[in-house]
Amino acid sequence: MKKIAIYDTTLRDGTQGEGIAFSAPGKLRVAERLDAFGVDYIEGGYAASNPRDMAFFREIKGCNLTHAKVAAFGSTRRANIAVGEDPGVLALMEADTPVVTFFGKSWKLHVRDVLRTTPEENIAMVADSVRYFKERGKEVIYDAEHFFDGYKDDPDYAVATLRAAAEAGADMIVPCDTNGGTLPHEVHDIVKGLCAAFDTPLGIHTHNDSELGVANSLEAVRAGAVHVQGTVNGFGERCGNANLVSIIPNLMLKLGYSCLRDGDESLKQLRDVSQFVNELSNQRPWQKAPFVGDSAFAHKAGMHVDGIRKNPHSFEHVDPEQVGNRRRVLISELSGASNVFLKAVEMNFKVDKTSPEVKEILRELERLEKEGYEFEAAEASFKLLIQKVLKAHRPFFGLEGFRVIAEKNDAGSPCRSEATVKLEVDGVSEHTVSEGDGPVNALDGALRKALIRFYPQIADVVLTDYRVRILDPEEHTAAKTRVLIESTDGKETWSTVGVSENIIEASWEALVDSVEYKMFLDEQKGEAPDA
């Protein structure tokens, strides 16, 4: 099985993306996770760029990486400066990494208008820089910036810049589609020609400005490239870099290449790695991300659900478990008996697809959706609905009443909210008050206060998202609203829904479902104490 080296540049090129940043400790944690995942190279930062990147290169030496090589990134020497006197070159040496990756210019437009030097001096800059680092025992990866644009402008000159790097001893030469405008067939043809012309192995570095970063990387491999650069989740400047989260499974599952240290076992970590990097960069996961998104293996149409029940390959291009994901069956007005049946089976109810209970659940679903409920994005509420229809729901508490007050004393003072909740739990009445930043926050606080001594596990539940949608805007401020709440206990994440003309009541419904679903989960695991 042919090996393709995976070069991750999330911590350098990825951080150039809008809104992407990692703390210093976060960068180390990402590097350790990528190493455990089994990538071959981790580019830690631009050595001459900022103190944080240099600190990373010092601190990563204290981490016990078991597989990946750390690379420092920089540029060739500057024009008309001796390579040993160039500050950027010296910073790359100071980083003290086993691998040095630097870029040079391949496009005469950049040589003339950006570097403002001669084509001959640019070629000397490439050769001098490669030679300098090779003489000092470094593994050298040369990134040919804007190579494909340069090749289309003047192929002889673009190839000459690569030849300068190869003849000076570069271990890998990497043509880059820096502007992200090259088409897949162009990448394939150009890389194929380069592989025939050079003994030095070739890699590929693409950007996603034309939504082709992944496709271009795969075409380069098909043409002979043996090294792929990219970022986790496609982070990067403008529209992002080539997305390794899509490239890796395509290479392994579709093209039969070896990419990760532990092969298929490593690939099962793919979704976790994607989510880990999102978490540390404070990004919400893209729900529709191929392979790893929540929707990647989500099925909604009744016919499709019936198909996967009979044979999953009928509507799935790979097994979700291969990439650490899972199959999901969505519930909506398009649902058929198969959707409901699979949901009920998932909850360990013994029902038949043709049983009256399934039809009753479908009727209740249709009724609620006419009122404005939507369970496609509120799976936890739907599971509780199944329990209620099948008479298997045990209420963990009963509402005796709640009141919410919002008060603002004058134009300059903050608005304060206070909620009072009265509940009955197993014959015991509990009456609590809580203040909050807003009415929903106050209501959530009062609900938790009332329940915490009976169900201490709800202390682990955190609301991670709160969304409101107006269902009939023509009614203006009297419009019916739908509230979706996302919650987590640190292990599981679930969503619940509430609908009412009163936004507070809709929020209460979603909050109650959220708390009850947590207790339902714990009861399934045998962790919930008796009330």
Phi, then psi, of 390 in degrees rounded to 5: -85, 10
Last residue of one domain, picked from the residues 360, 389, 418? 389
Residue 292, domain member (yes or no): no
Same-domain status, 308 and 161:
no
Q: What is the pTM of this model?
A: 0.75
Same-domain status, 254 and 342:
no
pLDDT number for residue 253: 97
CATH code for the domain in which residue 72 is found: 3.20.20.70
Q: Yes or no: say if 182 and 214 are a contact pair by the CB < 8 Å rule.
A: no
Same-domain status, 411 and 320:
no
Same-domain status, 316 and 459:
no
Tokens of 34: 């990528």
Residue 195, domain member (yes or no): yes
Q: Which helix or strand (DSSP H or E) is residue 268 part of?
A: none
pLDDT number for residue 336: 63
CA atoms within 13 A on the CB side of 73: 24
Last residue of one domain, picked from the residues 250, 280, 310? 280
Question: Beta partners for 116?
Answer: none
Cα–Cα distance between 95 and 46 in angstroms, integer?
A: 10
Same-domain status, 268 and 322:
no
Same-domain status, 263 and 311:
no
pLDDT number for residue 477: 61
Residue 291, domain member (yes or no): no
Q: What is the pLDDT tens value at each position of the chain, 531 positions in all?
A: 799 999 999 999 999 999 999 988 899 999 999 999 999 999 999 987 778 889 999 999 999 999 999 999 999 999 999 999 999 999 999 999 999 999 999 999 999 999 999 999 999 999 999 999 999 999 999 999 999 999 999 999 999 999 999 999 999 999 999 999 999 999 999 999 999 999 999 999 999 999 999 999 999 999 999 999 999 999 999 999 999 999 999 999 999 999 999 999 999 999 999 999 998 998 888 989 999 998 898 777 667 766 777 787 888 899 999 999 988 776 655 556 667 777 777 666 777 767 787 778 878 877 887 888 877 778 888 888 888 888 877 788 999 999 999 888 888 888 889 999 999 988 899 999 999 888 999 999 999 999 998 999 989 898 888 888 887 766 666 678 899 999 998 888 899 999 998 999 999 999 999 999 998 888 776 654 443
Residue 530, domain member (yes or no): no
Residue 210, domain member (yes or no): yes
Secondary structure letter of residue 384 according to DSSP: H
Tokens of 97: 């990494």
Residues whose CB is less than 8 angstroms from the CB of residue 398 and which lie 6 or more positions away in sequence, other chains included = 423, 424, 425
Same-domain status, 26 and 104:
yes
Same-domain status, 406 and 362:
no
Per-residue burial over 25-39, b if 16 or more Cβ lie within 10 Å, else e, is ebbbbbbbbbbbbbb
Residue 319 sits in which domain range?
298-389
CATH code for the domain in which residue 442 is found: 3.30.160.270
What's the number of domains the chain is made of? 3
Cα–Cα distance between 444 and 436 in angstroms, integer?
A: 9
Last residue of one domain, picked from the residues 389, 419, 449? 389
Same-domain status, 10 and 108:
yes
Query: How far from chain centre, in Å, is Cα 500?
Result: 33
Same-domain status, 316 and 430:
no
Residue 324, domain member (yes or no): yes
Residue 80, domain member (yes or no): yes
Same-domain status, 424 and 344:
no
Residue 24, domain member (yes or no): yes
